[in-house]
Amino acid sequence: GDLARVLNDIILLMRRQAELQGVCLEIVPGELPVFRFDPEKIKQALINIIKNALEALDSGGTLKITTSHKDDNVTISIHDNGPGIKQQDLPLIFEPFFTRKGAGTGLGLSITQRIIEEHHGSITVESSSEAGTTFSIMLPAGHRDTVINTQNAIRLSTLSWS
């Protein structure tokens, strides 16, 4: 897949909301290989993070997406200069149904983590009230002949064996 194209699609999708909130969306693209991943799933995962960041930046700010490639891994970093996530909440943000938002379901980051893990990747978060929040996603790009089919993984996990 072409990660740069996925990111461009996301920016087109989210740009208007960012502009309305006075948020500067910035992309710092690195040189990326073409590698196998499910573009729709990765798009969903990234949109979940970006939507949360935009909600945190309700009175303006900067949302910066950086990509890089090193040692058969692609890293996507999403940083906002918002108020940060409370330290006591950090261990809970990937838990299903955890939310501090009145209207949220608490499933966005749980789904995001699952998508990244289905791609044999990892997601980490660093946050402070001074520096904002950074989500870092690492995806393996070295096994280009390994087909990642998350549809089957999800289907298999929902089968019940009786």
pLDDT for 95 = 87
Dihedral in degrees, nearest 10, Cα atoms 92, 86, 139, 35: 110
87, with CB counted inside 10 A (0-12, 13-18, 19+), is: exposed
pLDDT for 143 = 55
> Residue 158 in 3-state DSSP?
helix
Say which residues have a Cβ less than 8 Å from residue 91's Cβ, sequence separation at least 6.
none
pLDDT for 7 = 93
pLDDT for 106 = 75
Nearest to 114 by CA among 66, 161, 10, 44: 44
Instruction: Please report, in tens digits, the pLDDT of each residue of the chain (162 residues total).
Output: 789 999 999 999 999 999 999 999 999 988 888 899 999 999 999 999 999 999 999 889 999 999 999 989 999 999 999 999 999 999 888 988 887 776 777 788 999 999 999 999 999 999 999 999 999 999 999 754 433 333 333 333 333 333
